[in-house]
């Protein structure tokens, strides 16, 4: 605004003091007529125009010529020269008469001269009145005409006594304006436009500003504890924080101090961010949300500056909540004695500043810090000590009842068919987190819309669950008949071993339709209930089920294929964990061979502890023994039930998909059901 005011003032002064009056323009023919009539006083000839000034018009008294009669009378009355000479001696001179007048002048003239105001004679005062009058008179006589090609113009001007001169037009101002002012002005406007669009903190000078997004309380988008399900224990833990933000005097009157920080720990998708937003919604306070990676930038010292700015802004809006997602991005353990730990680390500097801010933070201000991470084991111990994140809340995967409650929340706005059983869906999705259940519900709605159905049916939810587990179905993928038969017997071997193995998860579905990236078929096994412990025989049953596919190929075709690569990888991992982690080997029983306290190279952990070559040899022998025994048992069982293998494989080749009810018709009841 300051520069705009100065520019406007200059334009106004230029208009009133230095503006050039408009000169009238005449035709070239009229100009030639004026030259012929000797009415032009002077001209200035430029390359494209001619500027001229007319002569002053004579007054009427001077123009009027005396008549003949008056001339004759004057001649008659004119005396001779001799008489004139005599009269000169008698007539007093004009100078003497003037002197007499001066002498006879009254003394008041001198007095009047003395009382003239001084400001009227001030030499530096501009006489605008006289200047304006003179300029108006000159303006009336000025003219301009467009120059035409005329070879006789100079000769005519010379013959009529016109003062003429030439003038080259100077274009420096125009060139300066178009070559410098306009390009620089355009660049300046572009610069201002681009930087004005940037958010605060994106500019070079504001790089130390916090990137936290502030979510103010909005009744229409308010998240409450009613929107959170399946993590009842975690909700109970954070309700105390809400109660403190609503009624801080209830706690401060007794001298109690609420924990400054609450750390939400749990697998991805379990609802840590949703729980933090529910706390903000219930407490009706501002909610600062940012990620741990938002602190670190390419510039040195930016992370620490953003931490300081975040806490400063939070104190101004207290009471409020600061939510730092993915806290492990800046809260990892500092290098210590780790290899290659020297030098400056921007992340560690940011962590140090965060520790300082949390340590010097007044608990009575009403600012609660909520952190979320799925890797609590990598956090720095100083971050978890009392006075900082001194309360850890586990946000685990929901159980059966929790999954059912989550399904109820996510199907609120969906039109469901009567055959949809949420309890059964919860049983078919063991290990699913809240985000995965939300995705299943949305995917079921999309599948129903694709069928142009008015309601979402149970089959839509089941297909959505399969899509989450096995991947996208590829119906258009062409497989030759030989490979198709191999896949059918492979999946039949999985299904038969999984169906008849005691304690194994029941087989819900078998398909030879390609899904996902590389799966040419799949066997869906889901537990009927949540499992937290597994016995030795149950782990062996899992290994047998994984090896049943290759055993089915060998029993039928007397050779094996590459289709069992993923099965072998998973089976080998289970066998090794039985020996090294769970201590289930008979030769080295009850020994854990994994050191959780050490990290591998560059601090990557956990890794297998150092051990002797003899122990390594025993681990390899025991692993091979478990895999070999399970595979031989699978082959013997399939050879004994080759009719069932053939029947299931032929059904798969015909239908491509077999459901649980059809599996029971082909294979009969499970061993557990027989025992019952």
Domain ranges (residues) in the chain: 1-56+128-169, 225-335+344-394, 400-469, 479-667
C-beta separation of 262 from 368 below 8 A: yes
Identify the residue whose tokens are 């467009």.
Answer: 146
**Alpha-carbon distance 153 to 559, whole Å?**
114
Average pLDDT estimate for 522-539: 85
168 contact partners, CB below 8 Å, separation of at least 6: 46, 47
- Dig out the tokens for 315 from the structure: 């104190």
- Dig out the tokens for 548 from the structure: 């049943």
- Dig out the tokens for 594 from the structure: 């994994």
- Dig out the tokens for 111 from the structure: 């007095």
**Alpha-carbon distance 221 to 109, whole Å?**
94
Identify the residue whose tokens are 């061979």.
Answer: 593
Phi, psi of 334 (to 5 degrees): -70, 160
Task: Go through 627-661 and write b for each residue having 16 or more CB atoms within 10 A of its CB, e for each that does not.
Answer: beebbebbbebbeebeebbeebbebbbeeeebeee
DSSP per-residue string spanning 163-175: EEEE-PPP-HHHH
What confidence score (pLDDT) does residue 209 get? 56
DSSP per-residue string spanning 35-99: HHTT-EEEEEE-SSEEEEEEPPPPPHHHHPPPPHHHHHHHHHHPPPHHHHHHHHHHSPPHHHHHH
Angle between helical axes of 481-500 and 642-655 (0-180°, round to 10): 130
Report percent pLDDT > 90 for the chain.
25
**CA 614 to mean position of chain CA atoms:** 57
Average pLDDT estimate for 163-176: 75
C-beta separation of 607 from 595 below 8 A: yes
pLDDT tens digits for range 389-409: 878 889 999 988 999 999 999
What confidence score (pLDDT) does residue 601 get? 39
Annotated catalytic, 646?
Answer: no
Task: Go through 73-112 and write b for each residue having 16 or more CB atoms within 10 A of its CB, e for each that does not.
Answer: eeeeeeeeeeeeeeeeeeeeeeeeeeeeeeeeeeeeeeee
Given a cut of 60, whether residue 136 has pLDDT beyond it is yes
What confidence score (pLDDT) does residue 406 get? 94
Radius of gyration of the chain from its Cα atoms, rounded to whole angstroms: 52
C-beta separation of 279 from 261 below 8 A: no
Q: Considering only 12-21, 271-280, 296-305, 416-425, which range has the smallest mean pLDDT?
A: 12-21
pLDDT interval class at 3 (50, 70, 90): low
Average pLDDT estimate for 371-381: 88
Q: Looking at the domain covering 479-667, what would its CATH class be?
A: mainly alpha
What is the three-state SS of 259-306? CCEEEEECCCCCCHHHHHHHHHHHHCCCEEEEEHHHCCCCCCCHHHHH
pLDDT tens digits for range 228-271: 988 888 898 888 888 887 887 787 787 777 777 889 999 998 98
Cα 592 to Cα 46, 542, 580: the distances in Å are: 104, 21, 6
What confidence score (pLDDT) does residue 405 get? 93
What confidence score (pLDDT) does residue 243 get? 83
- Tell me whether strands 163-166 and 287-291 are parallel, antiparallel or unpaired: unpaired
- Give the strands of the sheet with 657-659, arranged side by side: 522-525, 507-511, 657-659
What confidence score (pLDDT) does residue 662 get? 92
Phi-psi domain of 588 (left: phi exceeds 0; alpha: psi -120 through 50; beta: other): beta
What confidence score (pLDDT) does residue 444 get? 94
C-beta separation of 507 from 499 below 8 A: yes
- Of residues 468, 463, 494, 490, the one with CA closest to residue 479: 490
**Alpha-carbon distance 402 to 318, whole Å?**
34
What confidence score (pLDDT) does residue 120 get? 40
Given a cut of 90, whether residue 112 has pLDDT beyond it is no
Identify the residue with better confidence: 544 or 57: 544
What confidence score (pLDDT) does residue 543 get? 94
**CA 147 to mean position of chain CA atoms:** 63
- Of residues 518, 506, 494, 495, the one with CA closest to residue 571: 494
C-beta separation of 524 from 508 below 8 A: yes
**Alpha-carbon distance 546 to 65, whole Å?**
137
Considering the candidates 491, 553, 554, 622, report the single residue annotated as catalytic: 491
**Alpha-carbon distance 531 to 528, whole Å?**
9
Average pLDDT estimate for 596-621: 66
Report percent pLDDT > 70 for the chain.
74
C-beta separation of 329 from 293 below 8 A: yes
The three-class DSSP label of residue 481 is: helix
Q: Considering only 187-191, 372-376, 415-419, 549-553, which range has the smallest mean pLDDT?
A: 187-191
* CATH 3.40.50.300 given to domain 225-335+344-394: yes
- Adjacent-strand bridge partners of 607: 595
What confidence score (pLDDT) does residue 637 get? 95
Rounded to the nearest integer, the mean pLDDT of the chain is 78
Identify the residue with better confidence: 651 or 166: 651
DSSP per-residue string spanning 201-246: T-SSTTTTS--PEEE---STT---GGG--S-HHHHHHHHHHHHHHH
- Adjacent-strand bridge partners of 288: 214, 322
**Alpha-carbon distance 288 to 315, whole Å?**
11
Angle between helical axes of 272-283 and 232-246 (0-180°, round to 10): 30
Q: Considering only 187-196, 287-296, 561-570, 647-656, which range has the smallest mean pLDDT?
A: 187-196
Given a cut of 70, whether residue 106 has pLDDT beyond it is no
Given a cut of 80, whether residue 481 has pLDDT beyond it is yes
> Which overall architecture, per CATH, does domain 400-469 show?
Orthogonal Bundle (1.10)
The CA-based angle 12-13-14, given to 5 degrees, is 90
Given a cut of 50, whether residue 578 has pLDDT beyond it is yes
CB atoms inside a 10 Å sphere around CB 228? 23
Angle between helical axes of 536-557 and 565-580 (0-180°, round to 10): 150
Angle between helical axes of 613-640 and 642-655 (0-180°, round to 10): 80
- Dig out the tokens for 329 from the structure: 């991005």
Cα 84 to Cα 78, 81, 492, 526, 557: the distances in Å are: 9, 5, 158, 151, 163
Question: Between 2.40.50.140, 3.40.50.720, 3.30.720.210, 3.30.70.660, what CATH number should domain 1-56+128-169 receive?
Answer: 3.30.720.210
DSSP per-residue string spanning 366-433: -EEEEEEES-GGGB-HHHHSTTSS-EEEE-PPP-HHHHHHHHHHHTTTS-B-TT--HHHHHHT-TT--
Given a cut of 50, whether residue 290 has pLDDT beyond it is yes
- Dig out the tokens for 465 from the structure: 């669950």
Average pLDDT estimate for 336-363: 68
pLDDT tens digits for range 434-446: 999 999 999 999 9
pLDDT tens digits for range 463-473: 899 888 888 87
């Amino acid at each position: 605004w300051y520069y705009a005011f100065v520019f406007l003032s200059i334009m106004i002064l230029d208009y009133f003091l230095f503006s050039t009056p408009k000169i009238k323009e005449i035709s070239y023919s009229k100009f030639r007529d004026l030259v012929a009539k000797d009415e032009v006083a002077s001209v200035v000839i430029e390359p494209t125009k001619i500027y001229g000034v007319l002569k002053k018009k004579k007054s009427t008294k001077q123009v009027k010529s005396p008549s003949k009669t008056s001339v004759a009378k004057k001649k008659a009355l004119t005396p001779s020269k001799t008489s004139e000479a005599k009269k000169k001696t008698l007539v007093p001179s004009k100078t003497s008469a003037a002197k007499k007048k001066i002498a006879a002048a009254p003394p008041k003239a001198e007095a009047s001269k003395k009382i003239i105001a001084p400001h009227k004679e001030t030499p530096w005062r501009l006489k605008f009145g006289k200047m304006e009058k003179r300029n108006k008179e000159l303006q009336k006589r000025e003219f301009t005409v467009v120059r035409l090609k005329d070879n006789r113009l100079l000769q005519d001007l010379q013959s009529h006594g016109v003062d003429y001169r030439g003038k080259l037009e100077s274009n420096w101002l125009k060139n300066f304006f178009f070559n410098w002012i306009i390009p620089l002005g355009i660049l300046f406007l572009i610069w201002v436009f681009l930087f004005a669009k940037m958010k605060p903190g994106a500019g070079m000078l504001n790089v130390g500003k916090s990137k936290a997004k502030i979510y103010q309380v909005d009744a229409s988008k308010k998240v409450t504890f009613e929107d959170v399900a399946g993590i009842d224990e975690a909700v109970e833990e954070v309700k105390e924080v809400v109660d403190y933000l609503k009624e801080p005097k209830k706690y401060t009157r007794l001298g109690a101090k609420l924990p400054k920080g609450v750390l939400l720990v749990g697998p991805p998708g379990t609802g840590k961010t949703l729980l933090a937003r529910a706390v903000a919604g219930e407490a009706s306070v501002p909610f600062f949300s940012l990620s741990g990676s938002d602190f670190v930038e390419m510039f040195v010292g930016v992370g620490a500056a953003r931490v300081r700015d975040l806490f400063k802004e939070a104190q101004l809006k207290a009471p409020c909540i600061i939510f730092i997602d993915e806290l492990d991005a800046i809260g990892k353990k500092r290098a210590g004695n780790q290899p290659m730990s020297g030098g400056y680390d921007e992340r560690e500097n940011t962590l140090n500043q965060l520790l300082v801010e949390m340590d010097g933070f007044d608990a009575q201000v009403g600012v609660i810090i909520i952190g979320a991470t799925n890797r609590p084991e990598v956090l720095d111990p100083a971050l978890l000590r009392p006075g900082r994140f001194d309360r850890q809340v586990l946000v685990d995967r929901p159980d059966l009842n929790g999954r059912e409650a989550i399904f109820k929340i996510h199907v609120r706005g969906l039109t469901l068919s009567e055959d949809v059983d949420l309890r059964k869906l919860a049983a078919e999705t063991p290990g699913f987190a809240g985000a995965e259940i939300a995705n299943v519900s949305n995917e079921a709605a999309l599948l129903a819309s694709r069928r142009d159905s008015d309601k979402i049916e149970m089959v839509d939810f089941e297909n959505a669950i399969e899509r989450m587990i096995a991947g996208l179905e590829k119906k258009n993928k062409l497989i030759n008949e030989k490979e198709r038969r191999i896949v059918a017997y492979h999946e039949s071997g999985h299904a038969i071993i999984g169906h008849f193995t005691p304690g194994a998860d029941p087989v819900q579905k078998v398909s030879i339709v390609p899904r996902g990236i590389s799966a040419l078929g799949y066997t869906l096994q889901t537990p009927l209930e949540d499992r937290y412990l597994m016995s030795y025989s149950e782990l062996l049953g899992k290994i047998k089920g994984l090896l049943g596919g290759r055993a089915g190929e060998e029993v039928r075709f007397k050779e094996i294929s590459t289709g069992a690569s993923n099965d072998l990888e998973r089976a080998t991992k289970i066998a090794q964990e039985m020996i090294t982690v769970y201590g289930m080997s008979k030769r080295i029983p009850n020994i854990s061979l994994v050191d959780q306290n050490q990290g591998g190279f560059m601090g990557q952990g956990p890794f297998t502890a150092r051990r002797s070559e003899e122990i390594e040899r025993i681990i390899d022998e025991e692993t091979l023994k478990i895999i070999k025994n399970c595979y031989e048992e699978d082959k013997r069982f399939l050879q004994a039930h080759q009719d069932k293998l053939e029947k299931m494989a032929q059904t798969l080749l015909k239908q491509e998909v077999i459901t649980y009810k059809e599996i029971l018709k082909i294979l009969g009841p499970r061993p557990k059901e027989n025992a019952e």
